[in-house]
Structures are given as structure tokens and as C-alpha cells.
Amino acid sequence: MRNLKLKFRRIELEMSQTKLAEIVGVTRQTIGLIEAGDYNPSLKLCIAICKALDATLNDLFWEDGENEKK
Amino acid sequence: MKRNKSNLDERQEQTLLRIEHNGCWLAYWGLLAVMIIQIILGVDLENLAGEQIVFMLLALYISAGCWKHGIWDRRLKPDLLSNTVISLIAAFITGMLGFIHTAREYPDKIFGSIAVGIVYAIMAFAVGFVLLQFSAQLLKKKQSKLEEELPEDEEE
């Protein structure tokens, strides 16, 4: 399941995948895979991403019922 | 000496661990296959010493690591039925290898070769079964110990 919330928030802040990856200390590929829903990050990385994007875990990683079915 | 900081992020680390995991099992089963093929081809057991040492070290390392962390297997349980089935499979393979190895060396003594195969199978079953049962008991003790070391569950 793609993580569009993360992608939209990053775009909202005009931040590239490379920049976000640099801030949280991972590769751009990892950010790409998280956004594509192909990699489940650790809680530690989720928190780092939330801090970098000034958002909460709920904002970026919580899926409501409708999205979970997709 | 201070270790260099890892160049990998957590996803790459997981991927590398998966690759190393596959490599480890490839080496393990590959060595076993090589030894079986060489036994079938009639290579003297003394000439397999190198393979046997590496194989046994690998097996010991994996067993000790699993025991330390209270792990038995992903799918199998350390119970009587599983241990019996595994020992029977090992006994069958060992018996067949014993038979083939002896039959190649003494082609005119087929009944003797069968007897050797049966003796090998019985021995492999006995050793395998006892070892598995003993390991299962050790593991259960280790699991209890690990459980005791955990802080109390507040809800209990």
C-alpha cells in the first residue's frame, strides 16, 4: 500500500526524497520504497521522518479503515 | 580498534542480512550435498575431513546461537513426534549412504552392504533421536530461564 500521506507532506514542504533521506540518515531508495509501500520502516525511522516533516505518526503512518482495504 | 560507522541504512542492513542468511544456508546445504555426492562416488571419508569440519562448525554455531536465544525452528516444535520424524529421515539418508558406500567397495557382498546400511540407519536414528530430545530439554530450560529474566508483566 503506497504511503501517499508521506509523499504529499514531503511535496507540501518542497522537500526532495534526497533531502529527506539525508536528514533522516537513509538512502533515497529507502524513502522511495517507503512511499511506494514496498518497505515497512522501523518505528525509529518513522519518528525521524515525522520530525523531519514536522508531522505526527498519525499524520503520516496511520491508515484508516478505507485505506487499509486498498 | 574502533569500528567504522555502517554505510548502510536499516533497509539495506535488512537486505544484507537476508543475503547473508541465504548465503549461509547455501553453504550449509551445499556442503552437505558435496559430502553426500562424494560418499556416493566412493571418496574415502578421511578425504572429506575439511568439509566435515566446516559443516560441523557451521551446525554448532547455528545450534548454539539458537539455544542462546531460546529458538528451536520456524515451523517445527521440539516435541516427540517431530523429533521422531526428523530422526527417521536422517536414519534413512544415513542408511542409504552406508549401503551405497559399502556396495561400491564390496560389489559382491550385497547382503553385507544392506546389513551395514541397516546398522548405520539404526545408529543414526538412535544418536539423532537422543540428541534432539536432549536438545529439546535443554531448550525448554533455557526458555524458562529467559522468561524468568524478563521484568514482571504489570497487568498480571
| Count of beta carbons in the 10 Å neighbourhood of residue A57 | 12
Same domain as B87, residue B110: yes
Asked if the interface predicted TM-score (ipTM) of this complex is over 0.85, the answer is no
**Substitution target from A30, A40, A43, A47 for chain B, most B beta carbons within 10 A:** A30
pLDDT at position A69 is 45
A20 close to B (CB below 8 A): no
What is d(CA B71, CA B146) in angstroms, rounded to the nearest whole number? 11
**Rg for chain A, CA atoms, rounded:** 11
What is d(CA B50, CA B32) in angstroms, rounded to the nearest whole number? 12
Judged by CB atoms closer than 8 Å, whether chains meet at A42 and B10 is answered as: yes
B11 close to A (CB below 8 A): yes
Residue in A31, A32, A30, A36 with CA at minimum distance from that of residue A3? A36
DSSP B30-89: HHHHHHHHHHHTT--GGGGHHHHHHHHHHHHHHHHHHHHTT---SS--SSHHHHHHHHHH
Q: The whole model's pTM is what?
A: 0.76
Among the candidates B68, B97, B116, a domain finishes at: B68
Same domain as B137, residue B78: yes
Per-residue pLDDT of chain B (156 residues; tens, 9 = 90+): 677 888 899 999 999 999 999 999 999 999 999 998 988 888 887 888 999 999 999 999 999 999 999 999 999 999 999 999 999 999 999 999 999 988 988 888 899 999 999 999 999 999 999 999 999 999 999 999 988 887 776 554
Judged by CB atoms closer than 8 Å, whether chains meet at A41 and B9 is answered as: no
Q: Which fold has domain A4-63?
A: 434 Repressor (Amino-terminal Domain) (1.10.260)
Q: Express each pLDDT in A10-30 by its tens digit.
A: 999 999 999 999 999 999 999
Would residue B153 count as lying in a domain? no
Same domain as B128, residue B93: yes
A39 close to B (CB below 8 A): yes
Range(s) of the domain holding residue B16: 10-68
